[in-house]
Structure 1
Amino acid sequence: MNLDFSIIAPSIPFILKGILVTLEFTLTSAVIGFLWGTFLSIFKISRWRLLRGFGVVYTSIFRGTPLLVQLSIVYFATPQLTGYNISPYMAGVITFGLNSAAYISETIRAGILSVDRGQREAALSLGVPYRRMMMDIILPQAVKNILPALVNESIALLKDSTLVSTIGAGDLLRRADIVSADTYRYFEPLIIVAAIYYVMVIGLTWAGRRLERRLQRSDRGEERVEVVRGAEGAPQRVA
């Protein structure tokens, strides 16, 4: 095999600078996708037909069209429609955030429906407002139930972020392409980028599992507290 990493060694720091761009892009898109996806999931279970229809149509469009096509529309069509020259980074964040929201909304909706219906009925019977019930009671439990699915979506978003290189964003893959064009060595830069992505995915997976275990321990602790309270409040038999 004709491999020589010494040729691209001076360019490795240039490639590594793309890590920050990739992580910043992924984190921003994930936050946008989670927040907007949460609202979409609430729309889909709303009693208002207009909101339900909007959520269903939105999800259908973004799940039914290729992500690369959406990215191209946002980046190339925005200047034509608005006269504003959007940056590659901003175009990528908007596209990936909106696209991720469509998938996350279905995950969160399933998580909301998995929460015991009795808790919702009990909260409403006590006069708890709907917004406070969703934010303080239903959504926290739903997020715990769907945490593995959210981690998987974050991993997919991290890997799909390589698509922004097609519009000139300075992520890892784009920088590897520049190094390849300068040195005429294609395998070595791509191997380095693949290794970096693998390490980031493993790190994200480890963080997700650790958070999941912590939440499970917290749930078990709360259950033990409830058992102790129940035992203390139980009537005592007097001889």
Structure 2
Amino acid sequence: MYQWDFAPVFAHWPLLAQGLVNTLKVTALSLSCGLVLGLMLALLRLSPRRWLSWPAGFVIEVFRTTPPLVQLFWFFFALPLIVGVEMTPLLAAVVTFSIQSAAFFAEVFRAGIVSIERGQWEGALAIGMSHRQALRRIVLPQAVTRMIPAFLERAIELMKTTTLVATIAYADLLFAANDIAQKTFRPLETFTVVALIYFVVIFGFSLLARRLERRLAVGGEATVH
């Protein structure tokens, strides 16, 4: 029978800790950049000018329908050959997941903006606001509240997707696990510990997301009444 021994794995806890930090770093940077790019893509997609809306729609569909691993390999291996700029594993990961997240966020932003009643726009324009001011002061604050649950779900999915960066030798949590498994010859224990780490972090974030959703729902009901 197999004898479980977690001691060699826990002896390498600094590697696991650094891997977790690197995973959270990629996730945070990709989410931050993805939100900004996603809003820009959504506004371009909603533009009445086809020369703006069509390219934005093309980018959104490409990054929503192609596998993340293919995108990651393309940015890490192919893009440097085209532009002549070396891509570090961290930079390639952030660029890939930022654009991919932006493609998903763009559709969330677009749906949220479209969901706002036309009367909100008309009322803002009637009191002298420009289209940009109405978007920034009236429409987006209401739309973002409706979009927060979708954003939180995407953040959770993104953290799981970042495990792909181990394939380009970025020292994330999964890369650290592979290293420890090879050093200790304890792959079962190593990946069990890593699975528990992911569970604790992602489940904890999920609980916070659900709590925030409930507070927003209560706040929305209070506003209506």
Q: Give the TM-score range, shorter chain.
A: over 0.9
Provide Cα deviations, 1:74-130, integer angstroms capped at 9, x if missing partner: 111233223322110111000000011111111111111111111011112222111
Equivalent residue, structure 2, for 1:135 = 136
Q: Distance in 1 between matches of 2:51 and 2:114?
A: 20
Equivalent residue, structure 1, for 2:112 = 111
1:3 Cα deviation from its structure 2 partner = 1.6
Tell me the TM-score normalised to structure 2 length: 0.93
Matched ranges for 1:91-170 at <5 A: 91-170=92-171
Equivalent residue, structure 1, for 2:207 = 206
Per mean C-alpha deviation after superposition, the further-off stretch among 23-32 and 130-139 is 130-139
Q: Distance in 1 between matches of 2:65 and 2:209?
A: 28
Amino acid paired to 1:157: L
Q: Distance in 1 between matches of 2:128 and 2:96?
A: 40
Identity %: 38
Equivalent residue, structure 2, for 1:235 = none
Q: How many residues align?
A: 224
- RMSD over aligned CA atoms reads 1.6
When residues 205 and 124 of structure 1 are mapped into structure 2, their CA distance, relative to the original with a 3 A threshold, is same
Q: Distance in 1 between matches of 2:55 and 2:127?
A: 31
Show structure 2 runs of 5+ residues with no match.
none
Amino acid paired to 2:184: T
Equivalent residue, structure 2, for 1:82 = 83
Tell me the TM-score normalised to structure 1 length: 0.88
Amino acid paired to 1:212: E
Equivalent residue, structure 1, for 2:47 = 46
Provide Cα deviations, 1:172-226, integer angstroms capped at 9, x if missing partner: 00000001111121111111111111111112212222333343444455556xx
Equivalent residue, structure 2, for 1:180 = 181
SS in 1 for 2:152: helix
Show structure 1 runs of 5+ residues with no match.
225-239
Per mean C-alpha deviation after superposition, the further-off stretch among 163-172 and 60-69 is 60-69
Equivalent residue, structure 1, for 2:198 = 197
Q: Distance in 2 between matches of 1:3 and 1:79?
A: 44
Q: Distance in 2 between matches of 1:59 and 1:223?
A: 34
Structure of larger gyration radius: 1
Q: Distance in 2 between matches of 1:56 and 1:223?
A: 35
Q: Distance in 2 between matches of 1:38 and 1:79?
A: 27
SS in 2 for 1:146: helix
1:139 Cα deviation from its structure 2 partner = 1.2
Equivalent residue, structure 2, for 1:31 = 32
